[in-house]
Chains A and B, each alone.
Chain A
Amino acid sequence: MEENIKTSVKDFLIDEVLRDFSNNSKDDAIKQQLAVLRNEKIEEPVIYIGAGTCGLGAGAGKTLKAVEKYLKEKEIKARIIEAGCIGLCSSEPILDVHLPSYNRVSFEKVTEDKVVSLLDKVFSLEIPEENILGQFKTHESKEWEHVRYFNEHPFFAPQKRLVLKNCGIINPVDINEYIARGGYKSFIKAINIYKSLDICDIIEKSGLRGRGGGGFPTGRKWKFANAEVSDQKYLICNADEGDPGAFMDRAVIEGDPHRVIEGMAIGAYAIGATKTYVYIRAEYPLAIERLIIAIEQAKEYGLIGHDIFGTGVDFEIKIKKGAGAFVCGEETALMHSIEGKRGMPRPRPPFPTTNGLFGKPTVINNVETFANVSNIIENGSEWFSAIGTPSSKGTKVFALSGKIALTGLIEIPMGTKIRDILFNIAGGILDNKKFKSVQIGGPSGGCITEANLDIEIDYESLIKVGAMMGSGGLVVMDEGTCMVDVAKFFMNFIQRESCGKCIPCREGTKRLLEILESITGKPQKENNEALERFKAVMQMEKLCYVIKETSLCGLGQTAPNPVLSTLKWFRDEYEAHVFDRKCPAGVCKNLKEYNINVDACTGCTVCSKKCPANAIVGSKKQAHFIVQDKCIGCGACYEACKFNAINVI
């Protein structure tokens, strides 16, 4: 019986929706059935739980169990759907309740202990005052009074969600819902009415540029590959999101995997590739799991496979798990990794579009780039190019994290001011502290300071101020962040991830790290250490430029950016570290000096017992003393002292 219903839904969607891609005036019966499949018209209550990685991290799994238990105890028949991430990580776990004939309504911070009281209220048609995120306009449903709409929430109001349209809203592993919301129509339209070169044209005219960081025009790249003659071409989706601080690709795949598959299918048709790969980080197990399910579903519906919908188009998709190497985000390194080799870059040209994976023409695009494609085919290139700035079209997804009130994923039109992102959308700096900088673009990117907060975000404007788009991670830093420490953090990352092929990158980044370590390290009085440090600092900038100019791949060429950028905007902090041996933000432990106020010390000996370095001497009931040469600056004594007798300088 169930099998029959499943087949009939499948047939309905394939015959009435997908094959009928150009006909938008649907009769009422079809509209009603689509509303059912979209989960808008429901017979029994539906409870959605945001179960992306961040939701699960915040305790969505426990919330889910509590909901199941509640429904069982109260004998309520309701469906539970594990949705992806809506983007507001700091409000997780997020739980939505959709009662028949009422608007769907969303609640934030629903930890397991809150489930019972919340559901009790909602099921008796009462909306509690706290924890409301907003209600969604739902097909033919009553609205909840005095509850704001979701798109009126300050975090969501300024956003333009095209790529993230379905994320957190739909059931990510239900192909029916995706199709009922207009999915795969663009793909079927593309292979039925457009020639492959037409698709390249549309994408080129739309102005879509690679969202992985480089910003190369996608349509042009596709044209290069389209023009190649070869028995086999490949298309690769780069989901090796290695930038620390970026998680948009993960969220898109977890929340709406079919959108990525559809974009890849259209791309493959446009360049004439039949075999495609998704190269995805092994650190994203949930994304991989959902992608596998989505691929199986698409196969069942004949959207992946041989002779799709009788058009003669073949499309095959394989998942390759990355093995944890940052450099594999670089396209030639990524291809080597798929081939089973060490992921080291090679010189370009030849470009992958002529000589790529296994020596064949290959196009590599980022997850977000593919996620944009179906919208462009559906709405046309003019629609897309009307959004954004003259040089950068469309929207961009950013991952907001660090010392900011609201963290998560946002999608905004290109050209939005960074100040608006931080202070309007994300609610300003955490704990009302003073803003210092926002780091954009990961280890290859740079810092944006107060002075540049009003630039309008696009590929060019960011480069002008010494940063870059990268994949779009925005890490916010406040007055309590030490920029020298941040530079040291990135250099530590990069020197570990340098593949070792080019000496300037392999050795240079290590030297940069050593210099930064000596600047932030414990002052030593012997060995001319101070002189060495000054010499090193004087040469640091020069070394940066050597690395930039003589490295082969993008990783090496951008490796010194964290140092150059912090040096440019925060030279005073470097100087404080070098000349005064002080860390203005109080982060660099080794530059802190602790001493004991003899008058306040009661000689309780707690600090000397806590000290891991045995640096505190003194006998019982006598004032103690810190031996500075032994002190490692850990602050254990400071935390242990009950008499506030320890000073930090």
Chain B
Amino acid sequence: MISLEVKIPDTPGSLIELIKPISNNGGNIYGILHFHDRKTNNMIPVNISFELSESIQEVSLNKIKNELKERSIQIEKISYGIEKKLLTVLLTGHVFDTDVMDTIKRLASKDISVLELHAKFTDLKEYSNVKLKIEFPEEMNKKELTDELRKICKEKNLLLITS
């Protein structure tokens, strides 16, 4: 996800001039925020978020920057936002006896966050069952995440069931 902070004149058609270079160069626009309350010298700060496919990202972004410059739209800031992804998994085994906090902390060290934990168990001697809702970074693919989980589960002799 790419986020551009720009200033555009508060005149009809200005927003189209901002959007055209992005959509013409393969940008998939997610959102536009206008900050009318921060208008100065008839210029409004605008934040536009869009996605470019990885294969064309560098070339397209350069074209977008050039085309905005040709339209006298000044870029204040470019940021590459990180979008988190979600996965639900089940763990079966001695999940608590094998230190579930250690499991969560080890995932956190890889920027993987456990958002929710639901557990069901009948007896401390029996297997417990834990459902985790996990958030992982955009740059990590599902296989990398499950490989990381599998490594921990193998070590702790837990059954991992992924969605």
Are the chains A and B members of one assembly?
Answer: no
Q: Interface on B for A, CB 8 Å cutoff?
A: none
